[in-house]
Chain A
Amino acid sequence: MGETALFWIMAPIAVLGALGLVFARKAVHGALSLALTMISLALFYIAQEAPFLGVVQIVVYTGAIMMLFLFVIMLVGVDSSDSRVETIRGQRAAATLAVLGVIVLLTGVTVRATLPSEPTGLAQATPDGNVPAIADAIFGTYVWAFEVVAALLITAAVGAMTLTHRERLFHRPTQKELSIKRFTEGPPGEAAGLPVPGVYARHNAVDTPALLPDGTPSEASINRVLVARGAARSTEEFRHHPTPADIEAGAEGETDEPVGGDDDTNGGERA
């Protein structure tokens, strides 16, 4: 009774999630729909008296794998405008074949499970409970297959790391070296690092310059990327009581200063 109710509530949600994965315009929506489907499936497993499988489904698939997918999608910012050109030749044919294979496999499994008149039943299949039965299958019956899959996964991980490994062309200065360098070589005013952008009464944003203790706005506090894009506010806007003479003198003085390239103290973090 409870199981039937659960099925009729969760099954439509699972199907909706699957459809959402296929038809969603944004990649993140698709990924979230897939996560929904996975959680619904996990509930089905638990309802089918396979609590270990259900819980591990959530921990591994929803919690780790889907999370990594989402991480990459959000980081890279994939959207619907991505081209649909076949990048690997024969990809579609291979995909069609794989789909057919999966259909045949699933049909076979379902037929084998349902055609004999009476199913074995869980009580007979797993007499000691769910967890010992799975442990027995993984570390007993199928231990060889399990180890081979583990070796394959480790090879894949090591391979991915080898392929993405990059030798550094330069020595990367550490935080300590940079700090020492600031004290020994830089002007003493900047020894403590660059001022942070405009955190004061009227503006609290990265595009506004910081006001130095003497009241002058500091160009060094604005990210040079914003300056290059023209998204930063002019420092002149924030100068205190500017007189025409001040602005002229200030503008002249500022053009000589290098605008970019002066915030390498935190450049390492952005790289």
Chain B
Amino acid sequence: MIALAAETTGDEIAGFGNDPWWIIAIKCLAIFVLCVVLTLFNIVFERKVVARMQHRLGPNRTGPFGSLQSLADGVKLMFKEDIIPKAADKIVYIAAPLVAVIPSFLILSVIPLGPEVSIFGHETRLQLTDMPVAVLFTLAIASVGVYGLMMAGWSSGSTYPLLGGLRSTAQVISYELVMGLSFVGVFLFAGTMSTSGIVAEQERLWYGIILLPSFIIYLIAMVGETNRAPFDLPEAEGELVAGWGTEYSSIKYAMFFLAEYINMVNVSAIATTLFLGGWRAPWPLSAINDGMFNTGWWPLLWFFAKVILLIFVFIWLRGTLPRLRYDQFMHFCWKVLLPVSLVWIVAVAGMRLAFNEGIERNQILLYGGIAVAVLLIGSLLIPEKKQPEETEPAEPAPFDAFAGGHPVPPMPGQEFVAARIPVTPTGATTKTDERTEESSRA
């Protein structure tokens, strides 16, 4: 793909495609090393932070302050016995971890880590490549990575992994949709889908500030997309043992682990690039000495500071929130996040149109404020909802779905008879009740 990017003519992005092969090789190697090192760091970081949140010390035996703990754990994991279950579909079972881990390494290739720098006297950007559709490319790569979890779930040949695989599919399809919608606002404002272009457009103001709702939606979606707590239902250990990873061991499990942690870095890097100004220094620093901190190798520092801050948010969530119930989790995506993002996109498109038409920002704020005020005043005119009468309502005509022998749904105004469903564990459950309940579920 690197060679291809160099060949393109119509869609070429300034500053890319002129690197000699050795610079490209250095960048590829750097991205690989970065992914692995960040994973090792993040595991220790997570254990340390969660430990502090729980008034513990965390790992403190291997290396200075326990910093080499994940390295030791990783080596140990590699040398454990590799088990392939008898019922497993062998080819898919072996391919699954590879399908999960390889795409996770690819995403950082389109993320700008910094501006132009000089490597051994050669001026180049701190980004492997860029495309006119780089942000969509990250979405595409992420959706390939999910196949790994699915394949793992199915090929293990047992129930818990299958359930975990199904959950992860449903979850990622839903949250990828929301994630894609949260990008739309950024595309509209930046006028480009290339990552370096989006960072360049954020010179004055970060999109995380202008497009705050998009940013919040993305932050929620990115946790859902990476299967992290409180959205870690595919591997919910209280319900599914270890979800799709139940049957995996040794190096295959290590690969899934690696993929999960690299994906955390990936989504954080995308959030940084799209909403937090990418490699640009935060405001007071960016003004020092005529933008000195936005040139040379400095931006790497800001970029990774932002990424690690987002990783901390991941860990913070994990240390704070309990896991959601599965149906509530899906309802939240389809009935809350999706409508909210659609409405927000309409608003963003309207704002964009207004800017394009040359309407001043003050005017937009003024008219927007007037519209909000009118809505607020209008909402006062809506008559208050009648309080439900405190008196015991007249006994509603009991509705029996099976009165005529054949089950019929209730008519409007008729009430269900809750008593037909046995609820108590010890059950005043008769045989007939159980059967009708079963048939209603079927």
Q: Which residues of A contact B (CB under 8 A)?
A: 2-3, 6, 26, 28-29, 32, 35, 39, 42, 46-47, 49, 51-52, 55-56, 58-59, 62-64, 67-68, 70-71, 74-75, 122-123, 126-127, 129-131, 167-173, 175, 177-178, 181-182, 185-187, 190, 194, 220, 258, 260-265, 269, 271
Contacts and interface: CB of A to CB of B under 8 A. Distances in A.
Contact of A220 (B141, B421, B425): B425
Chain B at the A interface: SS class: helix
B353 to A, nearest CB: 14
B56 interface: no
B425 A2 contact: no
A33 to B, nearest CB: 11
B169 A71 contact: yes
Closest 7 CB pairs of A and B: A63-B143, A167-B409, A171-B416, A58-B140, A2-B3, A169-B401, A261-B429
B4 A6 contact: yes
In this complex, which of A2, A55, A168, A262 has the most chain B Cβ atoms within 10 angstroms of its Cβ?
A55
Interface in B169-209: 169-170, 172-173, 176, 180, 193
Nearest to B431: A261
Contacts of A47: 4
B4 A170 contact: no
A58 B150 contact: no
B77 interface: no
A55 B422 contact: no
Given A51-B132, A51-B137, A70-B169, 15 more contacts: A2-B3, A2-B7, A3-B4, A49-B10, A56-B136, A62-B144, A63-B176, A67-B172, A71-B173, A74-B150, A131-B132, A258-B426, A258-B427, A265-B423, A269-B326
B441 interface: yes
B11 interface: yes
27 contacts: A28-B89, A29-B92, A32-B147, A39-B144, A42-B140, A49-B9, A51-B131, A51-B137, A55-B139, A56-B136, A58-B141, A63-B143, A63-B173, A67-B150, A67-B172, A70-B150, A75-B166, A123-B10, A169-B407, A169-B409, A170-B421, A171-B418, A173-B418, A186-B424, A186-B426, A187-B425, A258-B429
Interface string B145-157: 0110011011000
Contact of A74 (B10, B165, B440, B441): B165
Contacts, number: 177
A271 B441 CA distance: 6
Given A32-B92, A49-B11, A70-B169, A171 B4 contact: no
B39 to A, nearest CB: 24
A186 to B, nearest CB: 5
A52 B136 CA distance: 8
Contacts of A265: 423, 425
Contact of A262 (B10, B144, B170, B426): B426
Interface string B405-436: 00111100001111011111111010000100
Contacts of B422: 261, 264
Nearest to B437: A170
Contacts of B434: 260-261
Contacts of B146: 63, 67
B176 A129 contact: no
Contacts of B172: 67
B312 to A, nearest CB: 29
B193 A131 contact: yes
A58 B146 CA distance: 12
Contact of A59 (B8, B143, B409): B143
A187 B426 CA distance: 8
Interface residues of B, number: 62
In this complex, which of A3, A64, A261, A265 has the most chain B Cβ atoms within 10 angstroms of its Cβ?
A261
Nearest to B4: A47
Contacts of B141: 58
B1 interface: yes
Nearest to A130: B11
A39 B1 CA distance: 14
A129 B132 contact: yes
A190 B416 contact: no
A182 B423 CA distance: 8
Contact of A126 (B10, B417, B418): B10
B426 A58 contact: no
A172 B327 CA distance: 14
B425 A186 contact: yes
A138 B402 CA distance: 53
A220 B437 CA distance: 20
Given A170-B420, A194-B425, A262-B426, A55 B140 contact: yes
B296 to A, nearest CB: 31
A261 B10 contact: no
B94 to A, nearest CB: 13
A59 B401 contact: no
Interface in B321-335: 325-326
B205 to A, nearest CB: 24
A196 to B, nearest CB: 9
B251 to A, nearest CB: 22
Nearest to B433: A261
B26 to A, nearest CB: 20
B264 interface: no
B143 A58 contact: yes
B143 A170 contact: no
Contacts of A64: 143, 173, 176
